[in-house]
Structure 1
Amino acid sequence: MAAQDAEDDAFPDPSEAWTAQDFTARLRRLRVWSGLTYRQVEKRSGLQGMPLPYSTIATALQRDTLPREEFVAVFVRACGVDPAPWLTARRRLAVAEAEAVAPAWPAEAPPAYGAPPRPAQLPPDAGDFSGREVPVRELTRLLVRGEARTIAISAIAGMAGVGKTTLAVHVGHAVEDAFPDGRLYVDLRGYDAPLDPADVLARFLRALGVDGQKIPDTVDERAAVYRSLLAARRLLVVLDNAADETQVRPLLPGTPSCAVLLTSRRRLAGLEGVYQLDLDVFDAEPAVELLARIAGADRVAAEPEAALEIAVLCGGLPLAVRICGARLRTRPHWRLTDLTRRLRDERSRLDELAVGDLAVRAGLSLSHAGLDADAQRLFRLLGLLDAPDFASWTADALLDLAPGRAERHLDQLLDARLLDVLSGEGSAVRYRFHDLVRVYARELAEGQDDEPDRRAALTRAFGGWLALAEQAHIRLFGGDYAVLHGSAPRRPPPLELCDDPLTWYESERLSLLATIGQAARLEMDELCWDLACSLWAVFETLAHHDEWRTTAETALTVTRRAGNRRGEAFVLTGLAHLDVARQRYAHAEEILGSAIRIFEEVDEEHGRALCLTMTAYIDHMHGRYDRALPRYEEALAGLRRAGDHGAVIICLRCISQIHLELARPDLARPYLDAARELLGGAAGDRSHPQLLYQLGQFHLARRELEEAEQVFTRLAEIADEIRDPQGGAAALCGLGEILLHRGEFARARALLDESLTAARGAGERLLGARILTVLGRCHAGEGDHERAAAVLDEAAEICAEIRTPLWQGRALDALGTVLRAGGDIDAARDAWTRARALFAAAGSPEAADVTARLDDLPGRT
């Protein structure tokens, strides 16, 4: 009895346990050694309510089988001991227990019959596998690394049809030598009818040689036997098409001798220590290579352009390319162009992308079926958009939800790999569809949603883009000025998106262009012209003239088709505005005449006044001051009645410019003061940088160089803040002219060169010519008459091309001065004669100054 007590008091070494009963007995003796009662151990361990077949630790330890790992860990820890040696001993015994369940393979048994089974369950490798060299290399390296202390798990995620299974099977065959004990494979059917992990484990255990009648009942017990059997083996487990982490976890081996390769359409972020590989679609080159491997290299080489078009129409999706290759291979009489013709029709494209048991639509339908009803509806409605990408507010608008409420539905689409994240963070995140996914989504929408519901959803989304474009105009222009609007409904999304309107535009540019085109096709004429016109301020600021013209011409077509005369007139106004920005004055005059007649017809005074302002500006550029000033005054009255303060400011500025050019700064000053007062003084300078430029010119005309320098410096700062290249170039030109007046020619030339580069980059030909004129004077000041003459000649030529005679005359006047200084009297006389004619036609007092210079020339006849 004393000997027994001594044995109970001694610390029980778990490493000496050789049976489950002995291990359990040592656990009981550990409790005695700790000096705790069973109830105390239970209380310290917190095991009350633990899902055990018995209610107390004491009775739990009466089981004949090994206690569960989690039970051992908390029990030993409650006794005040490190559980690690006990868990090691338990796992060793679990292996022995599993081997007792599995058949015995005597060493002397013939390999063909008595050796342990070596499962080889992988499907055959694709003989035409191509295009995945980098992921194959990386996955192979990770799976066969010998130094790993934990099990190597590589997960391949991606949309349906991207080639996850093909890649996994190929890699599984490539690493065969690294796993001499076999390769297990199962299609978990995650997006169809997901397999129960218990059933998969039963399948694996039978493949590993366990008698079906001896397979345990529960998933935990099956997993324990499975891991025990794999504990001493080098074996690869390929789990294809997994639904989620819950399905996968019981199927993971427990020791680093094995490795796992799994695929899923979603990222299984809940699995620890997993190497995640996101598989994307093919670029054009590997897609064409795959097509050639399947359909035949000669056929593809004979029609390379058609092969490339097939790759593009398939969106680089390997399954789609594979289907196209298979169809071509079984139809040797087809040319590749026969297939491209079939694929171009978006409505039947998915019908064409099917052959045998392969179909793109089938894979997408499984992903779609796993969504809840709201996410399915969002998927369909998003497919209606022509926009290539979109922000989350678009989903809110389509579903008619409050801001942010659609994000959980977007998350479902992301998890199902029916949607991709393009870029950005927070509210700037953008999403996009793969082209074929979009086709499928639109197909579902047109089949399941009524046309009025589809149109209403699109109207809400388009209204969001319209509201944001309107805000961008307001922020760039300092108010909702110099623009007309239509009756299309707005749906304001989070307006902080437009805090930086140019950044917002850059992110939405392609979507905005697509939306204008889609609105035109849907005959939404009011929305189409309003959205196009609301973007003019952005187009002008960034010198995006091509987008400006394309969207305006689209809007013009749809307004004319709809008989929308007011919309048509304002779109014509915008096209004229673009021509003016590009110095195409003759065409602009013609368009403005049409727009004014329509505005008069529909009694739209505001639009007519805006057209008159531009007509006066063209007269101004042509030096027709006698026509420009009364037109400006007439426009000014109309704009004041319309309450368009921003356009009033423009008109006042232009009138002051005429007076400055006619050397009447005293008459210019009241208009400048009125404009700045309306704008709000210096606080409003950021909204109208052109007015600052005009003020700088006023000070230059009065030789108030310090005041001019302050103004142009402020203009340069504002232009940099709002990313206005024209304003920046004008500011640098003004600062360069100040330095020229001060005789600092080298510094002036450096600024003028920088200014000229900026103006040319912005496509500003008139500003460029004006800068060249100042630069020519700078070269002359440095004594480089030859260079000065070349620069001034270029300026005069540009002004002649864009029909701005006043500035052409100024360039020629400066050229005459340079030629006279260089001793070329005849050339100087010619330049001054031409300049005088231009000034005289414009009614400019500069004609008299040039006449005086001509009279002073020697040898005058």
Structure 2
Amino acid sequence: MGRTVDRPTTRFGVLGPIEVYDAGRTQVVSAEIRRTLLAVLLSRSGSVVPRDVLVAAAWRDRPPTPATVRWHIHQLRQLLGDGDQLTSTPDGYLLQVDAEALDASRFELLLARGRDLTDDPQVAATVLAEALALWRGSAYEGLTDVEVLRDEAGRLAEARLAALELRIEADLALGRSAALIPELTALVAESPLHEGFRAQLMLALYRSGRTADALSAYRAGKALIAEELGLDPGERLRKLEHAILIADPALVPADGIRALPPPAELPPDVPALAGRDRELDRIHAALSQGSPIVAIHGQGGVGKSALAIKVSHRLREAFPDGQLYVDLHGATPGSRPLAPLDVLRRFLRSLGLSDAQLPADLDEAAARFRSSTAGRRMLIVLDDAVDAAQVRRLTPGDRGSAVLVTSRMAMATLDGVTQVHLDALAEADALVVLTDLAGRDRIAAEPEATAEVIRLCGGLPLALRIAAARLAARPDWRISELAGRLAGDRRLDELSDADLSVRASISVGRQTLGRDRSGRLADRILYTVPVLDLPDVDAHVVGALVEAGPGEVQAGLDRLVLARLVEALDTGRYGMHDLVRLYASEVAERELSRAESLAAVRRTGHAYLATTRAVAELMRAVTAKPWLASGIAEPAWSPVALEDLGQAIRWIDAERENLVAVAAAVDDPAVIVGLAAVAQHPFASRGWHTEARRVGRIAVDAAQRVAEPSLIATAHHALGAALIATDPAGAIEPLHLARDLFATVDDSLREATVRTTLAHALVMDGRAPEAENELLRAIGLHHSTGEDELEARDLTNLGIVVQHQGRYDEARRRHEDALELRRRLGDTHGMGISLANLGQLALVLDQPQRSVELLRSSVDLLAAWPNRLGFGRLLWDLGTAYRRLGQEGRAASERERSLMLLAEHGLLTSEQADALLAEPDPPMPAPYRRFA
């Protein structure tokens, strides 16, 4: 085999249900139409597929509009993540897929190679096994009622049978007759008229000393062929029967009998593993395809060993030269990890060496092991490894054998390794585990209590197994009693039974952190993070919690990840399993004083305040300017280094819930109120009104404790601003209070800002004249203090207010005044807003040409606007303007872009989008109406 092939990142599967794999993850193609389109494109990869062929396949007798076809093709491009793979041509669509990236193409390449290797059965068997392992079911499963796919599926099915016959022929040449009998018996039962499989079964039976059974298989085939076809068996079967009857020596190769039985050291098979089908299939496929090493890693108690044992039993027949197994004790409480030399000597004994023949040197033992496994197809299972160093010498030298490793650490440094990470079980799978172990009737009787037990076990198989064992040992217990015990202060005590203990399993991981500087910091991170109940954190927050620099923190986190005490998430953040968090909290009670815990939370509050201020600045939060300028509380911790607007948005998106939790936990009112003030605009622009209200109420309660007028006013402004979107009438009272307090302390800048916010609430409550008065006062205050940017914002708001009252000429003047002021300031974002307002006013006045010109300019200026729903509304209005000009193509294009934004935010389904695109004059989608 030798050469390693770099496979494309995105791969496709058609040898079974249609699947798309990206970076080791399966992308689900849930919509039947898109699944069909992708299947047809894959079946003709590299060739243009005419549109009418795609339409006939996906929609049958329900031809769609061209816009609908474009929508689904766009969704496919989004799924593929590579705009160059799927392209449109004048005649149709072209999907370019590398042969290595499509399982059907790879299968045929491997089959062709296997045919060319008939003189080397060892390599041929491996290559053909790799080809057959690509099959997950029938080709284009579930789609063979589509005419263009039916013939292709049939052709591939025939090729699969040919590959099977060739692989079995190679295995027979290698003397694996006995191991092949169960497989061949099943194949003959499935395809009783396939003479090739029947001949191979006869030969395997004969070589295994079962002559009578071989002849019986011939007679059964002869009778069936006569009955079904009215014919005699073919020449191959007749000649083979004759050779068996005369005991022809040519039927048995000289080296076809092994002197010693192959080792079979696997532990007993485990019951069915709920929730692990995908991992089982992935490991099975990798090892069957010739991947030399598969490493299963995950936290303690997640079920790595059980998965390894289950898949090993599945693969026994694929490795007829034997299976070796060893528990390396890498994370066994009270046991020392096994030394590689001791393991190698044990393996060599299993392979037939006497004690006198066993090498005493590690290098010599490793070399002897490689020699002993060369040319064989063996499976070596290395359970509970410490790290790659313990495993490296225990691997064979060629690719005929395979190694399956389990460890808490990822084995990234091993050559040719396939990594498989195990997570905790989903609730439905955890329920299956409990039901299998504790009894169906007992579980079904208390579904709510069962769900609570699953939640408190955190989906960890070890915890679930212990919980089920305790139920089995106490038939007098109701499940609700166990749930109550687990919900108490001694959950980890309850999750202990005989030699099984969740606490002990986690403790082993903590002991591996080490006692050097980095190890001690990792330990401090472990027990300090739980002082804030946050689902996940970034390294910056961890630094604030433990008061350490970025480099030290990253090294500590890396060590925790290796020990599987912390999980590195795809987002670059870090999470902790509930039971690990509970264990860490126990440690914190011993290691941290109350003063140290409060200080850690306070530092974290300052870190969030600093970065939220930076986000507001990057989002050009004009409304936040009064709070940013003078500062309610100056942060005592540095912000995250945010390079651009996109990074700012990603940060606030990730920290949305955490920011609320930190505001509730901090003991400093100034920090809490500061968070509420500067988070107001980012939260509003993302539509997070619930979170904004929660932070606002927390801030009001905190400010009342210190009775400082400016703090109280700021908190009430934050709460009032948060209420506007859902309860404008309820927003008016706190905003009145904030306005009057700022007037009392002669804070003109903040008074003006509150008046602007109050005007918004009044308009939403149907009190436009009052709103107009507030805005005029705000404009005067901002003008007198030289706040041109804020004055321009107020002019824009005033234009909207008078427009809603039907005073269109005045509205246009106000918008134009705001536009001119923003031009002088060089505020391109603000100019985009003013142009949008003027374009929407032109639409109201039925001036579509002017509306198109203004809205087109606005869209260009606001392409990076964080408020994506506001931007989507602009696109919808632009589409409406184009339609009024009779430019239906451009109208449909802009509306399609607009609907895609709604779909990306989960505010519209693809079916709803298709329906709107199909209408000649669709109504404005509901999510946009709040911008009207």
TM-score norm. by structure 1 comes to 0.65
Partner of 2:676: 532
Alignment of 1:175-214 (within 5 A): 175-176=315-316, 183-191=323-331, 193-206=336-349, 210=353, 212=355
Bigger shift: 554-563 or 444-453? 554-563
Task: Identify the residue that residue 515 of structure 1 maps to in structure 2.
Answer: 659
Q: Secondary structure at the match of 2:681?
A: helix
Residue in 2 that maps onto 1:263: 406
Would you say 1:491 and 2:637 are equivalent positions? yes
Q: Secondary structure at the match of 1:481?
A: helix
C-alpha spacing 1:736/1:128, structure 2 compared with 1 (3 Å): closer
Q: Secondary structure at the match of 1:270?
A: coil
Residue 642 of structure 1: CA displacement? 6.1
Matched, 1:414 2:561: yes
Q: Which has the larger radius of gyration?
A: 1
**Aligned-partner Cα distance in 2 for 1:404–1:153:** 33
The range that moved more, 597-606 or 415-424, is 597-606
Show the counterpart of 2:301: 161
Match of 1:377 in 2: 524
Paired with 1:223 and 1:753, the residues of 2 have a C-alpha distance of 66
The aligned counterpart of 1:284 is: 427
Q: Does 1:471 align with 2:614?
A: yes
Is the counterpart of residue 135 in structure 1 residue 279 in structure 2? yes
Candidates 278, 289, 301, aligned match of 2:444: 301
User: Could you say if the C-alpha distance between residues 630 and 333 of structure 1 is closer, same or farther in structure 2, counting changes exceeding 3 Å?
Assistant: same
Deviation at 1:322, TM superposition (A): 0.9
In structure 2, give the amino acid aligned to 1:552: G
1:760 and 1:129 map into 2 onto residues whose CA distance is 39
Q: Is the 1:660–1:701 contact (alpha carbons within 8 Å) kept by the matching residues of 2?
A: no
Q: Is the 2:881–2:891 contact (alpha carbons within 8 Å) kept by the matching residues of 1? A: no
Q: Is the 8 A contact 1:119 1:183 kept in 2?
A: yes
Q: Deviations over 1:310-337 (max 9, x none)?
A: 2233222111111111111112222222
Q: Pairwise mapping of residues 301-700 of structure 1 onto structure 2 (< 5 A)?
A: 301-345=444-488, 348-371=490-513, 372-424=519-571, 429-477=572-620, 480-481=624-625, 483=627, 485-487=631-633, 489=635, 491-496=637-642, 498-500=644-646, 503-505=649-651, 507-508=653-654, 511-560=655-704, 566-582=710-726, 584-599=727-742, 604-617=747-760, 627-639=770-782, 644-656=787-799, 675-676=818-819, 678-681=821-824, 683-687=826-830, 689-696=832-839
2:363 corresponds to: 220
Counterparts of 2:487 and 2:710, CA distance in 1: 37
Partner secondary structure for residue 295 of structure 2: strand
Alpha carbons of 1:209 and 1:117: their partners in 2 closer, same or farther (altered >3 Å)? farther
SS in 2 for 1:276: strand
Letter in 2 for 1:546: T
Q: Whole-Å Cα distance in 2 between the matches of residues 591 and 604 of structure 1? A: 17
Describe the shift of the 1:174–1:679 C-alpha distance in structure 2 as closer, same or farther (beyond 3 A): same
Cα deviation, residue 496, structure 1: 2.7
Aligned residue in 2 for 1:825 = none
Structure 1 residues 638, 168: CA separation in 2 closer, same or farther (over 3 Å shift)? same
CA positional deviation for 1:617: 4.8
Displacement of 1:487: 1.0
Classify 1:201/1:755 alpha carbon distance in 2 versus 1 (closer, same or farther; 3 Å).
Answer: closer
User: Does the aligned pair in 1 maintain the 2:615–2:652 contact within 8 Å?
Assistant: no
Q: How many angstroms apart in 2 are the aligned matches of 1:513 and 1:124?
A: 46
Deviation at 1:679, TM superposition (A): 3.4
| Contact 1:472-1:498 within 8 A present in 2 as well | no
1:47-58 alignment to 2 at 5 Å? none
CA distance in 2, matches of 1:181, 1:672: 82
Q: 1:294 Cα shift?
A: 1.1
Indicate if the aligned counterparts of 2:605 and 2:666 stay in contact, CA closer than 8 A. Answer: no
Supply the distance in 1 between the matched residues of 2:877 and 2:285 (Cα, whole angstroms).
63
Q: Is the 8 A contact 1:117 1:208 kept in 2?
A: no
Contact 1:665–1:701 (CA<8 Å) still a contact in 2? no
8 Å contact kept, 1:549–1:575: yes
Residues in 1 aligned to 2:554 and 2:698: alpha-carbon distance in whole angstroms: 33
Describe the superposition over 1:159-183 as per-residue Cα deviations: whole angstroms up to 9, x where unpaired: 2111111222333444455666654
Compared CA separation, residues 605 and 762, structure 1 to 2 (3 A):
farther
Q: Within 2, Cα distance between the matches of 1:134 and 1:725? A: 36
Q: 1:694 to 1:225 in 2, by over 3 A?
A: closer
Q: How far has the Cα of 1:704 moved from its partner?
A: 8.7
For residues 522 and 315 of structure 1, the distance between their equivalents in structure 2, rounded to whole angstroms, comes to: 28
AA aligned opposite 1:423: D
Inter-CA distance 116–549: structure 2 relative to 1 (3 Å threshold) = same
Q: Which secondary structure state, in structure 2, belongs to the residue aligned with residue 486 of structure 1?
A: coil
> Are the counterparts in 2 of residues 481 and 645 from structure 1 also a CA contact under 8 Å?
no
> Bigger CA drift: 408-417 or 604-613?
604-613
- Retained in 2: the 8 A contact 1:153–1:261? yes
Change (3 A) 1:625 1:493: closer
**Alpha-carbon shift at residue 752 of structure 1 (Å):** 12
- In the alignment, the residues of structure 2 paired with residue 361 and residue 576 of structure 1 have an alpha-carbon distance, to the nearest angstrom, of 47
Gaps spanning 5+ residues in structure 1: where? 1-114, 764-781, 808-861
Deviation for aligned residue 1:299: 1.2
Task: Give RMSD over aligned pairs.
Answer: 4.6
Separation in structure 2 between the aligned mates of residue 292 and residue 173 of structure 1, nearest angstrom: 24
Write the distance in 2 (CA, Å) between the matches of 1:119 and 1:745. Answer: 76
* CA 1:569–1:117: 2 relative to 1, 3 Å: same
Instruction: Tell me if the contact between 1:728 and 1:755 (Cα under 8 Å) persists in the aligned partners.
Output: no
Distance in 1, matches of 2:879 and 2:825, equals 23
- Indicate conservation of the 8 Å contact 1:117/1:209, yes or no: no
Instruction: Check the 8 A contact 1:572/1:595 in 2, yes or no.
Output: yes
Q: CA 1:683–1:206 in structure 2 vs 1: closer, same or farther (change >3 Å)?
A: same
Number of residues of Structure 1 aligned to a counterpart in Structure 2: 649
Cα deviation code 1:713-745 (max 9, x no counterpart): 2223344431535644664687689779x8869
Structure 2 CA distance for partners of 1:258 and 1:617, relative to 1, 3 Å: closer
Question: Residues 488, 354 of structure 1: CA spacing in aligned structure 2 closer, same or farther, 3 A cutoff?
Answer: farther
Contact 1:725-1:762 at 8 Å conserved across structures: no
**C-alpha separation in 2, matches of 1:293 and 1:622:** 58
Change (3 A) 1:305 1:676: same
**Structure 2 Cα separation of the partners of residues 364 and 330 of structure 1:** 24
Measured in 1, the distance between the counterparts of 2:888 and 2:359 equals 92
**Aligned pair in 2 of structure 1 residues 643, 469: CA closer, same or farther (>3 Å)?**
farther
Name the CA shift for 1:233/1:681 in 2 (closer, same or farther; >3 Å).
same
- Tell me what 1:101 maps to: none
Q: Report the equivalent of 2:249.
A: none
Unaligned runs of 5+ in 2: 1-258, 514-518, 906-919
SS at match of 2:556: helix
| Partner Cα separation in structure 1 for residue 640 and residue 646 of structure 2 | 13
